[in-house]
């Protein structure tokens, strides 16, 4: 089923409290306390929170015998982005965002537990729920530290976990019965192509671009060259370093020559 449009049936903003609904809004007055004991004038600050507050991005990938790396994205409608078409912006946006491609992600839950293992449990659960892939938590690796999603308005932090899986077996699960789960699909792209699609605005999702770049560092993959760091001339390979992301465990097949990656293609539909 292809989405044609999203209609606003009712706007309940004026009748709703800021502590109701899925998103909670704390409307605060704050003041700064300085080291010398002085205080600033009070100022207004609104903070948006979601249940659980933090989220985990599951960067699901696979590689073949030629060391080509593919990643899995989930495409589905995102109503807040679609409804941009009803607003006017300083920089006009020509996009009609009937759907958005993103990495698999989900909210942290108390049952996941704390620490890296808890994050990997949540990533494994999201891989199962959103892509139908059974990947054990032990197969995931946390890639770098967490980032604030939108620090000017939200207290949410986003964590990134990379997990290898057989992407050809991915399938959309039945979902939770919510209309918001309809019209989804799974898309597999070559890693460099996916990063380029982010830069071109075809995948306009910040966490996805960050997750893909961290995966490249994790694997020691250089998307601009279409090869891995260990395929570089020795003097360049010796200078390569991962920028704050731990290396993946050994296991990627060694190619006799740098792989020839497919040319980037325009994204079919979706925007």
- Judged against a pLDDT cut of 50, whether residue 10 lies above it is answered with yes
In a domain, 35, yes or no: no
Residue in 69, 108, 109 with CA at minimum distance from that of residue 226:
69
What's the domain range around 132? 53-212
Closest to 111 (Cα-Cα) out of 85, 137, 81: 137
How much is the average pLDDT of 75-85?
90
Q: Where are the alpha helices (DSSP H) in 108-258?
A: 115-131, 191-199, 206-219, 234-237
- Comparing CA positions, the residue from 50, 73, 53 lying closest to residue 61 is 73
**Residue 98, in any domain of the structure:** yes
Tens digit of each residue's pLDDT (9 = 90 or more) over 226-271: 999 999 999 999 999 999 999 998 877 654 333 333 333 333 334 4
Assigned domain for 30 exists:
no
Helix then strand then coil, % of the chain, to nearest 5: 25, 25, 50
Separation between Cα atoms, residue 143 and residue 7, nearest integer Å: 39
| Total-model pTM | 0.87
pLDDT digits (tens, 9 = 90+) for 86-109: 889 999 888 888 899 999 999 999
In a domain, 16, yes or no: no
Domain assignment of residue 4, yes or no: no
Beta-carbon neighbour count of residue 70 at 10 Å? 17
Residue 148 in any domain: the answer is yes
Distance CA 209, CA 174 (A): 27
Query: Which pair of tokens denotes residue 5?
Result: 């449009």
Paired tokens of 148: 């604030």
Q: Rg of the chain over CA atoms, in angstroms?
A: 21
CATH of the domain at 208: 3.90.79.10
* Tally of structural domains, the chain: 1
**Residue 198: φ, ψ to 5°:** -65, -45
Q: Is 78 within the bounds of a domain?
A: yes
Structure token pair of residue 95: 């996009």
Task: Tell how strand 157-164 and strand 55-63 pair up.
Answer: parallel
Whether the pLDDT of residue 2 is over 90: the answer is no
pLDDT of residue 178: 67
Assigned domain for 119 exists: yes
């Amino acid at each position: 089923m292809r989405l044609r449009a999203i209609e606003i049936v009712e706007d309940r903003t004026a009748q709703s409290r800021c502590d109701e609904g899925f998103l909670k809004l704390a409307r605060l007055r704050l003041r700064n306390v300085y080291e010398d004991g002085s205080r600033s004038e009070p100022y207004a600050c609104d903070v948006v929170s979601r249940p659980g507050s933090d989220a985990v991005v599951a960067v699901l990938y696979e590689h073949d015998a030629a060391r080509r790396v593919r990643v899995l994205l989930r495409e589905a409608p995102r109503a807040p982005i679609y409804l941009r078409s009803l607003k006017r912006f300083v920089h006009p946006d020509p996009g009609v965002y009937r759907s958005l491609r993103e990495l698999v992600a989900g909210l942290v839950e108390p049952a996941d537990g704390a620490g890296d293992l808890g994050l990997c449990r949540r990533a494994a659960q999201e891989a199962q729920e959103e892509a139908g892939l059974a990947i054990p938590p032990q197969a995931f690796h946390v890639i770098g530290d967490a980032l604030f999603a939108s620090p000017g308005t939200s207290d949410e932090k986003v964590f990134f976990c990379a997990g290898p899986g057989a992407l050809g077996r991915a399938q959309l699960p039945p979902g939770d019965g919510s209309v918001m789960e309809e019209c989804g699909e799974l898309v597999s792209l070559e890693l460099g192509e996916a990063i380029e699609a982010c830069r071109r605005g075809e995948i306009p999702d910040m966490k996805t671009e960050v997750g893909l770049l961290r995966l490249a560092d994790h694997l020691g993959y250089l998307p601009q060259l279409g090869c891995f760091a260990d395929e570089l001339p020795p003097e360049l390979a010796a200078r390569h370093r991962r920028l704050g992301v731990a290396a993946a465990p050994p296991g990627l097949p060694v190619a006799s020559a740098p792989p020839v990656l497919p040319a980037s293609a325009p994204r079919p539909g979706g925007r």
